[in-house]
Structure 1
Amino acid sequence: MLADDHARMRAAVRHALEAGGCEVCAEGASADDAVRLAAEHRPDVALLDIHMPGNGIRAAEQISRSLPQTAVVMLTRSDDDEDLFDALRAGAAGYLLKGADPATLPGALRGVLAGEAAMSPALVTRVLQEFRAPGRRMFRRRSDAAGKLSPREWEVMELLAEGRSTEEVAAKLFVSPTTVRVHVSTVLRKLRVKDRESAFRVLKGE
């Protein structure tokens, strides 16, 4: 299933996929189309543009959640880190750039179905750098106290430390504000501190 609001791009991608032996079961031009068509056709792969009407990342999250058997792959012109990591958090199994040779698409999608990640080497390097860093953003993950936190708790605290509100963190992680508050409360309990500022100091190693 292919969703992109640019008709010419859809046509070019469809041609490349069909030339490579893939079957395109449905096409859409918006995030709402993508979610609806995925539910109707249950494709092996949903290939989504990010910046189409309704937000492709939102569509990716909904499809990944409701149809776990459908692999979601983003196809976009954006190589922005925020778009990349938001897509991965939403459940995308691949992130492909539109500037690449369309003839490579069928092989990339077959790789996803075989359990591989579809991503350019440059983007893979950025993902590894993000998660290998001893202290992602401003925190030190190697402290004894910090080792008690789950990956999702890290995400919540790092985003809050950037100055985002509870509502902004919730929107970015596709969860409710209540869930964010529960994560914060759990972090405070694990670190044995009374407030967020104290937690930030512990995570910074101060």
Structure 2
Amino acid sequence: MIRVLIVDDEALVRSGLRMILEAAGDMAVVGEARDGDEAIAAAVRLRPQVVLMDVRMPGTDGLTAAARISAASDGPGVIMLTTFDLDEYVHEALRLGAVGFLLKDTPPRELAAAVRTVAAGQAILSPAVIKRLITSFVDKAPSRAESARGRLASLTAREEDVIRVLARGLSNAEIGRELKLTEATVKAHVSRLLAKLGLANRVQAAILVHDADLG
């Protein structure tokens, strides 16, 4: 069973998320929290594999809590819950270690699939929504773009091909089909380029590509 912690200041939202996840059959909601402070304590105490975290809450907000929880070497994967008017906060959360985000009106099947993806150690990259987030709110200041391009310059030509396609939200299998590589080869390229760039996950890689204005 996938252990999930739900964090939202609205009881109705927490209840709805609990019903959806527990109906999936392979997930157990091990706890709920109403704010960031409760979330940080619950993550340590309950050791969930995945945390669904609202962005805006009273007291310690989701952004701060996500950063604290994600900082632990063996911590859970944090998925931010948001609406488009909070996109800029989600972008910052991704930089701080959250592995993705979901809109609060995400269909139940997609919500469950996203939790499974993060529990398996992967990041969530929604091609349509994450691209809108990044391109809308990334500060394209020359210094940031120049720095991002400098980091990407260390990649081989093939690694650059892979990271450009990865930034569009494609899975390893989809990247392989587009670049005519085996899925295992793509996986090896992704692991190598993440290590070379000092990135925690695919979401941060996508942000770096868009910072460099190469996406």
Q: Which of 1 and 2 has greater Rg?
A: 1
Q: 1:39 aligns with which of 40, 44, 49?
A: 44
Q: Which residue of 2 aligns with 1:124?
A: 130
1:95 counterpart letter in structure 2? F
1:137 counterpart letter in structure 2? K
Is contact 1:3–1:47 with CA below 8 Å preserved after alignment? yes
Give yes or no for the alignment of 1:114 onto 2:82. no
Give yes or no for the alignment of 1:139 onto 2:145. no
1:108 counterpart letter in structure 2? A
Q: For the aligned residues, what is the CA RMSD?
A: 2.8
Give, in whole Å, the separation in 2 of the partners of 1:41 and 1:103: 25
Q: Judging changes above 3 Å, is the alpha-carbon distance between structure 1 residues 6 and 142 closer, same or farther for their aligned structure 2 residues? A: closer
Residues 39-90 of structure 1, C-alpha deviation per residue, up to 9 Å, x if partnerless? 1011101111000122101000010113533111111224544112111012
Number of positions where the alignment pairs a residue of Structure 1 with one of Structure 2: 146
Q: TM-score, normalised by structure 1?
A: 0.61
Q: 2:14 aligns with which of 10, 13, 34?
A: 10
Give, in whole Å, the separation in 2 of the partners of 1:20 and 1:130: 34
Unaligned runs of 5+ in 2: 153-215
Give, in whole Å, the separation in 2 of the partners of 1:79 and 1:111: 25
Give, in whole Å, the separation in 2 of the partners of 1:141 and 1:70: 29
Give, in whole Å, the separation in 1 of the partners of 2:73 and 2:10: 25
Give, in whole Å, the separation in 1 of the partners of 2:66 and 2:136: 22
Is contact 2:54–2:82 with CA below 8 Å preserved after alignment? yes
Give, in whole Å, the separation in 1 of the partners of 2:39 and 2:145: 41
SS where residue 81 of structure 2 aligns? strand
Give, in whole Å, the separation in 2 of the partners of 1:29 and 1:142: 38
Structure 1 runs, 4 residues or longer, greater than 4 Å off: 127-131, 140-143, 146-151
2:8 counterpart letter in structure 1? D
Q: 1:83 aligns with which of 72, 84, 89?
A: 89
Q: Judging changes above 3 Å, is the alpha-carbon distance between structure 1 residues 50 and 128 closer, same or farther for their aligned structure 2 residues? A: closer
Is contact 1:111–1:118 with CA below 8 Å preserved after alignment? yes
Q: TM-score, normalised by structure 2?
A: 0.59
Q: 1:23 aligns with which of 28, 34, 45?
A: 28
SS where residue 142 of structure 2 aligns? coil
Q: Which residue of 1 aligns with 2:69?
A: 63
Q: 1:104 aligns with which of 87, 105, 110?
A: 110
